[in-house]
Amino acid sequence: MQQQANAIVQTLKSKGLRVTPQRFAVYANLLSRTDHPTVDQILTELNKDFPVSSQATIYSSLQALREAGLVREVLLEEGVCRYDANVEPHHHFCCRQCGGIEDIGWDTFQYIQLKSLRPGLRGETYEVTVQGLCDRCDSETSEVKTQ
Amino acid sequence: MQQQANAIVQTLKSKGLRVTPQRFAVYANLLSRTDHPTVDQILTELNKDFPVSSQATIYSSLQALREAGLVREVLLEEGVCRYDANVEPHHHFCCRQCGGIEDIGWDTFQYIQLKSLRPGLRGETYEVTVQGLCDRCDSETSEVKTQ
DNA sequence: CTTTGTGCAAACGATTTGCAGGATG
DNA sequence: CATCCTGCAAATCGTTTGCACAAAG
């Protein structure tokens, strides 16, 4: 706990960011979850017990963290901007039933050849988005079928 | 020209959509371009010479076309919703310099194995987004380097 | 003639901005 | 103590909605 907090402080400082309670809370929250929350989800969770931050500050913290390369946006649904503290290259799985999102390891698809693009296009990075059913929604659907 | 117009009318009718000048114009415009325009880009182009449609009608036309399965949304940048009359499965190339978008044929990446997802996830469809430099931006960058 | 679409303007929700006071390094 | 951050409220931008009139089938 304490160690992790220190690590976060060090990370922020190493990127030249001032360490404020709000910025710390936003980054720590993002690191602690894997569901790529929206701004409102972060706000709600941070202020659950007592007020920690305002909405505008979440936006500005996220912008600072994004510019520092500690956080990135994830765009999977229309009108919803999510945030992710995992900035390593990876893919995403998106459940079409519940809308849940899960990371897919980079190594899962290793046969993509950017060289096979049409001549002229210089591909540099790529990202795969898989749609389907997650564990829970898949079993629920099966149950309905069985009944 | 005339043939194409008739084909569009037939397509709309076959989906149970009433054929109005506005709806026709929106769909014809989308079919004629490959750059996945935003609502404002469609509006601007349609009303270039004389007023054809209002913004609200573009939205409602797009919604009708989307529900009919003739058009789909493309989400690649934050805060920008683009539209695409190509509803066949395909991938996208996005130029990091100019923001231009181009389709990538479905066959380009044929080695993706949805079975390699972690057990429990039922992958159904996927889409690859490639980031890089398009022809023009690539050559411009090279010129700068050379100078 | 019934149903659906259009256009305007108002409403809406997410994000951004301006600014005064406060905290950080 | 200079700089940057926070929080509030107002502004902004894309999208949606309500409604009276018009067009499609």
Q: Which residue is nearest to nucleotide D5 (CA to C1')?
A: A20
Contact between chains at A109 and B123 (C-beta distance less than 8 A):
no
Measured in degrees and rounded to the nearest 5, phi and psi for residue A3 equal -60, -45
Task: Report which of B26, B36, B34 is spatially closest to residue B81, judged by C-alpha positions.
Answer: B36
Instruction: Say whether the CB atom of A47 is under 7 angstroms from strand D.
Output: no
Q: Report the DSSP beta bridge partners of residue B94.
A: B101, B131
Q: Which residue is nearest to nucleotide C22 (CA to C1')?
A: A20
Contact between chains at A135 and B113 (C-beta distance less than 8 A):
no
- Please state, for a pLDDT cut of 90, what percent of chain A lies above it: 80
Long-range contacts: A106-113, Cβ < 8 Å, 24+?
A108/B116, A108/B117, A109/B111, A109/B112, A109/B113, A109/B116, A111/B109, A111/B111, A111/B112, A111/B113, A112/B109, A112/B111, A112/B112, A112/B128, A113/B109
| Residue position matching structure tokens 């989307």 | B66
Q: Report the DSSP beta bridge partners of residue B126.
A: A130
Tell if the pTM clears 0.85, that is, is over it: yes
B103 neighbourhood in chain A, CB within 8 Å: none
* pLDDT tens, N- to C-terminus, chain B (147 residues): 677 899 999 999 999 999 999 999 999 999 999 999 999 999 999 999 999 999 999 999 999 999 999 999 999 988 889 999 999 999 999 999 888 899 999 999 877 788 889 999 999 999 999 999 999 999 987 776 554
| Encoded tokens for A133 | 């059913």
| Residue position matching structure tokens 């769909």 | B27
Please spell the DSSP secondary structure of B66-131, one letter per residue: HHTTS-EEEEEETTEEEEES--S--EEEEETTT--EEEE-GGG-----GGGSPTT-EEEEEEEEEE
Quick: pLDDT tens for A53-65. Answer: 999 999 999 999 9
- Topology annotation, domain A2-84: Arc Repressor Mutant, subunit A (1.10.10)
